[in-house]
Amino acid sequence: MITRLLSSALIAMALLGSIAATPAANAADTRCYELRIYHTAPGKLDDLHQRFRNHTLPLLQKHGITSVGYWTPLQNNEDTRLFFMLSYENKAAREAAWKTFMADPDWQAAQKASEANGALVQKVENFFLGATDYSPAIQVGPGAARRVFEFRDYTASPGNLGKLNDRFRNHTLALFNKHGMTNWGYWNPLAGEPGCDNRLVYMITHATTDAAAASFKAFGQDPGWKSALEDSQKSAGGSLTAQGGVKSTFLVPTDYSPTR
């Protein structure tokens, strides 16, 4: 009797330990993410940073909008885009929050003052995204060490987004990790949004761009990757990505980015 009780207690403790050890990534992330890319007017990037730093971020927070991260391209000084990501409970919450933010007199005053000598932004791109089921839990906050973010944008070949996601889920993430790359977040466009049937965007991090080059070189030579690549292409009857459908941009966080 005592033996059975002890055995039951040990099993219960093991189950509790297993539950406690389950990573947050296993919990479904149902949030709506919005990736916004601002193409700034010539000479206006510093003014845009000042507006975000002093006005936009606190006003977004006031209206229930979560700032995930803000980045600028690393390598091309003429590339004056600002990438940033926001999150909301869902798409409806996004629409409601954005409406109140845009109507806020404080935002309207800040925008008017900052644009007294001309508009700061020439073009805005925005994309509504959902985290994939294999994405790590997206951590908002500074990393343990300084890091470079790499934004990668994939266009799948026709009918192959599911197979592309399968390859990342079953092979690529683990191989990235093996070769020193940190998986930070993976997204597909929300249902009904442009690219929902053929687009995957993700961010990984590296210590430096030199470390990124070394990691990708080792990754490309890994027999596990070569096997996964060959098997997936054989199953699809060709490449899982469209011609020219893989784009990469190295990014560095702004000084006001919550994620660095």
Average pLDDT for 165-173? 98
**Helix (H) and strand (E) counts for the chain?**
9, 8
Query: pLDDT-derived band of residue 145, with 50, 70 and 90 as boundaries?
Result: confident
- Is the Cβ–Cβ distance between 71 and 253 less than 8 Å? yes
Assign residue 118 a region: left if phi > 0, alpha if psi is -120 to 50, beta otherwise? left
Say what the pLDDT of residue 133 is: 97
Q: What is the pLDDT of residue 75?
A: 77
pLDDT of residue 243: 96
Q: What CATH number was assigned to the domain covering residues 142-260?
A: 3.30.70.100
Measure CA 200 to chain center: 10
Question: Is the pLDDT assigned to residue 78 strictly greater than 90?
Answer: no
Better-predicted residue by pLDDT, 246 or 17: 246
Lowest mean pLDDT among 13-22, 32-41, 107-116, 230-239: 13-22
CA distance 87 to 33: 4
CA distances 97 to 36, 55, 76, 88, 258, Å, are 16, 16, 34, 9, 20
Average pLDDT estimate for 152-159: 98
> Greatest CA separation found in the chain?
84
d(CA 88, CA 248): 26
CA–CA distances in Å: residue 107 to residues 56, 57, 170: 7, 10, 45
Q: Where are the domains of the chain?
A: 30-131, 142-260
Can you give the pLDDT at residue 13? 39
Helix 209-221 to helix 223-236 angle (10° resolution) is: 70
- Two domains, one topology: 30-131 and 142-260: yes
Query: 207-217 burial, b for 16+ CB within 10 Å, e for fewer?
Result: beeeebeebbe
CATH architecture of 30-131: 2-Layer Sandwich (3.30)
pLDDT of amino acid 123: 96
Contact at 8 Å (CB) between 198 and 154? no
- pLDDT value of residue 79: 84
Helix (H, G, I), strand (E, B), or coil: what is residue 174? helix
E-only strand ranges, the chain = 32-40, 66-73, 81-88, 121-131, 148-156, 182-189, 199-206, 241-253
- What average pLDDT does the segment 31-45 reach? 96
The reported pLDDT for the residue numbered 10 is 37
